[in-house]
């Protein structure tokens, strides 16, 4: 089997680099198969400046697609939710359960739930008019950017300290309105704000479970059971407390309320 693939690969390479070695074959007339698409990609020299600009826009679009995961993580509610879920896992002293992939999947679908109105506005105001040829590529970018900017400004909650920080770093004048804040300033300010809020929530999540760890550790020391790890005893109590108070429901509800 390996020899067959080796011979097949060699023949294909010879046919590609040395086409004169392969005899020409008569082609049948193109009759066309209804209902079956044909994809063709031609590469040629650009004849006008408009074609050059279109090629550059295509390259920029491909570049944006490569950083799409970063856009989803940093410009939506995903960052705060993912950090809070990781804090929950660590505060419960859990190592493998639930798996990180499961937590990130839950965070992704919660992000879709929270960001759905924003995504709908982007589709209705940007993609749909562009597909109907009512607006151009510049209007597409502006109309798609506007709902995201509104979402990020709402999460800042009139806390413009991070915006002032980055504006001062760029020696930009003090903005009079939100429209005067560039997007490349708004994004890092939003990321720092999300990190701050997520860590504040994580601290409040850690406090009750730290108390349980301290009580268990002091009890074991008073009983002389120094060699027994306190985490082994405290983890079942923390899980029981988390289940009794319906922890997942409370955390998810409060997380969603922080965005609303």
pLDDT band of 23, cuts 50, 70, 90? very low
Q: What is the mean pLDDT of residues 12-31?
A: 47
> Would you state the pLDDT for residue 60?
72
Q: What is the mean pLDDT of residues 63-73?
A: 74
> Would you state the pLDDT for residue 7?
46
Beta carbons of 213 and 230 less than 8 angstroms apart: yes
Q: What is the mean pLDDT of residues 101-130?
A: 87
- The rounded distance, in Å, linking the Cα atoms of 192 and 198 is 10
In terms of pLDDT, which residue wins out, 15 or 63? 63
Query: In this predicted model, what pLDDT tens digit does every residue of 230-245 receive, in sequence order?
Result: 677 778 888 888 888 8
Q: What is the mean pLDDT of residues 211-231?
A: 76
> Would you state the pLDDT for residue 20?
46
- The rounded distance, in Å, linking the Cα atoms of 158 and 189 is 12
Q: Is the pLDDT of residue 5 over 80?
A: no
Q: What is the mean pLDDT of residues 24-50?
A: 55
Q: Is the pLDDT of residue 252 over 50?
A: yes
Beta carbons of 198 and 79 less than 8 angstroms apart: yes
Q: Is the pLDDT of residue 26 over 80?
A: no
Structure tokens at 244: 């009794």
- The rounded distance, in Å, linking the Cα atoms of 112 and 110 is 5
> Would you state the pLDDT for residue 143?
84
Q: Which of 13-22, 146-155, 227-236 has the lowest average pLDDT?
A: 13-22
> Would you state the pLDDT for residue 28?
46
> Would you state the pLDDT for residue 50?
64
Query: In this predicted model, what pLDDT tens digit does every residue of 73-93 receive, in sequence order?
Result: 888 889 899 999 988 888 887
> Would you state the pLDDT for residue 51?
60
- The rounded distance, in Å, linking the Cα atoms of 182 and 186 is 6
> Would you state the pLDDT for residue 153?
87
> Would you state the pLDDT for residue 138?
77
H or E element: which one contains 20?
Answer: none
Any idea what the Cα angle at residue 239 is, between residues 238 and 240, rounded to 5°?
90
Surface-to-core class of residue 157, CB atoms within 10 Å of its CB (0-12 exposed, 13-18 middle, 19+ buried): exposed
């Amino acid at each position: 089997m390996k020899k067959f693939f080796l011979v097949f690969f060699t023949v294909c390479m010879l046919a590609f680099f040395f086409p004169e070695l392969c005899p020409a074959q008569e082609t049948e007339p193109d009759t066309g198969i209804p209902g079956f698409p044909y994809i063709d990609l031609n590469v040629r020299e650009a004849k006008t400046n408009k074609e050059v600009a279109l090629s550059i826009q295509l390259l920029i679009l491909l570049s944006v697609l490569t950083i799409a995961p970063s856009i989803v993580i940093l410009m939506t509610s995903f960052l705060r939710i993912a950090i809070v879920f990781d804090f929950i896992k660590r505060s419960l002293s859990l190592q493998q359960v639930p798996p990180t992939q499961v937590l990130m999947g839950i965070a992704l679908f919660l992000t879709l739930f929270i960001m759905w109105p924003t995504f709908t506005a982007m589709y209705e105001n940007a993609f749909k008019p562009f597909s109907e040829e009512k607006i151009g590529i510049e209007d597409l970018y502006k109309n798609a950017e506007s709902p995201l900017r509104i979402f990020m400004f709402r999460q800042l909650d009139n806390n413009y300290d991070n915006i002032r920080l980055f504006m001062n770093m760029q020696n930009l004048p003090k903005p009079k309105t939100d429209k005067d804040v560039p997007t490349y300033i708004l994004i890092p300010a939003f990321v720092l704000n999300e990190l701050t809020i997520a860590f504040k929530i994580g601290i409040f999540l850690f406090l009750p479970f730290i108390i349980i760890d301290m009580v268990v550790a002091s009890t074991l020391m008073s009983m002389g059971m120094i060699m027994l790890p306190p985490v082994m005893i405290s983890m079942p109590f923390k899980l029981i407390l988390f289940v009794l108070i319906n922890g997942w429901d409370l955390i998810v509800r409060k997380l969603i309320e922080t965005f609303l």
